[in-house]
Amino acid sequence: MEKPETSRGSGAEERIVTERVVTERASVDRERQPSGTINSPNNRSQSQGGLGLDGLTPAPPPVSPLPSDPANDVQPSTSSSYFSNLSQGSESLTPVPPHQLKFLKFAETHRTVLNQILRQCTTPLLEGPFAVLVNHTRVLDFDVKRRYFRGELERADEGHRREELAVHVRRTQVFEDSFRELHRRTPDEWKNRFYIVFEGEEGQDAGGLLREWYMIISREIFNPMYALFTTSPGDRVTYMINPSSHCNPNHLCYFKFVGRVIAKAIYDNKLLECYFTRSFYKHILGILVKYTDMESEDYTFYQGLVFLMENPVDSIGYEPTFSTEVQEFGVTEIRDLIPNGRNLLVTEENKMEYIRLVCQMKMTGAIRKQLNAFLEGFYDIIPMRLISIFNEQELELLISGLPNVDIEDLKANTEYYKYQPNSLQIQWFWRALREFDQAERAKFLQFVTGTSKVPLQGFAALEGMNGVQKFQIHRDERSTDRLPSAHTCFNQLDLPVYETYTKLRLYLLKAIHECSEGFGFA
């Protein structure tokens, strides 16, 4: 069974940031997934672009690199192929020794029991008999990873005396005042205990004011006045980097500051009201972006990706070239993907190269400078080698916390297609969800909606790409050996007609635990 899937710096400064990101990434021994994003030429004008590639002149590599052949991503990898890759060294810098590989296969099979043992173990993971799992965190549950993560942060802080650092802000200018007070501080100073002082107030910060400061600043990050982030058109809830943020002359300084704020919150074990797109979390973790990540960011664009992958170039109806249209501030311009690209036709032979380049423009190239600034700030506080033990869903939970998912409220706001509320599979489905723990419910919500965020007004106010969109369960008439699949733009779950409750629960759990994408294949 397969699973679904700083101040505005000079060019030299940008290269230093990028080299740092690449160097840290090279030291991370973790699962890497294939990626790809593509843009159908007939849909290009509907997607907003930004500062992208002006040909193939030497430039820093994208933060989340793309493969040369996105078509390879259509079929997601299986556990068996994962271990095959480990044995050949493609998942890490060196091949895993046979005895370790044998243990990892055992751990994958018995991950439930293994995680129960690790929860009860008092010895730090890195020092115990399961230390090999530090480099293969795929089999570890979120709470086990989080415990190891916090232990490593504390160990790195041993021997450092942390002082209090007073941060004076006005309630009406929290973001600007915080930036002014903190942006010139060193990373080590950021690790001091912040003591928040709201101007004109007599309150003493015993921890409550710090929590309030985090809450306020996490909202101000998305203030349209700063033009740093924009809501994803796919779900109208999560945020992604605004490719046009350069309209704010201080945007790179702000992005570095925001990176530090978010990492500092994680460092302090404080929660933020921040929900980002899946691809943004992947950039932080160094996980390759897939073309399927585009579904929740720009559904029209995503449809073009699929069409172009599945059809001959000559079926488009016109002759596409190695260029793309970019809309910025109401003005449309043509950007070459390679030198003189507008005069080079896309053919069946070079289609995948065109796809790779246009995806790089859309998913990474258009926001490379902003990403580099953000990541520089983030890694100042938390190194990439440590944060990358999580996957993108877990990173969201680490930043924003585990939500309280009211199953009865979700059930009351669910629509069924080719199923009835009393269908056996539907009854089994709700039974399984009620049996899930808090973390499993959160991952299920991420799987079907793209985010763990619960609407403030309840699931009746759940948003989709076209506005309010209730949770939907569609009958999947295909093989019952498929995993459940999802379409996050429509809050839609495609549920096969499983023969038993045990199989439904097992496959649903496997999908939400192991599948970054909403795909299930027989």
Secondary structure class of 115 (helix, strand, coil): helix
Secondary structure class of 432 (helix, strand, coil): helix
Which tokens go with 265?
């919150």
In the chain, the amino acid numbered 429 is: F
d(CA 45, CA 54): 18
Choice among 253, 274, 359, 489 that is catalytic: 489
d(CA 461, CA 106): 44
Beta carbons within 8 Å of 350's beta carbon, 6+ residues apart: none
Cβ pair 306, 39 in contact under 8 A: no
Secondary structure class of 325 (helix, strand, coil): strand
Beta carbons within 8 Å of 108's beta carbon, 6+ residues apart: 79, 83, 138, 139
Q: Are strands 331-336 and 414-417 parallel, antiparallel or unpaired?
A: unpaired
Question: What are residue 464's phi and psi, to 5 degrees?
Answer: -125, -170
The string of DSSP letters for 194-237 reads EEEEETT-----SSHHHHHHHHHHHHHTT-GGG--EEE-TTTSS
d(CA 258, CA 221): 7
The continuous run of DSSP H or E covering 475 comes out as strand 471-476
d(CA 17, CA 9): 10
Paired with 471 in beta bridges are 414
Cβ pair 363, 293 in contact under 8 A: yes
Question: What are residue 486's phi and psi, to 5 degrees?
Answer: -140, 155
The continuous run of DSSP H or E covering 328 comes out as strand 323-328
The string of DSSP letters for 253-311 reads HHHHHHHHHHHHHHHTT------B-HHHHHHHHTPPP-GGGGGGT-HHHHHHHHHHHHS
Could you give the angle at the alpha carbon of 208 between the alpha carbons of 205 and 209, nearest 5°? Answer: 55
Is 121 annotated as catalytic?
no
Active site residues per annotation: 489
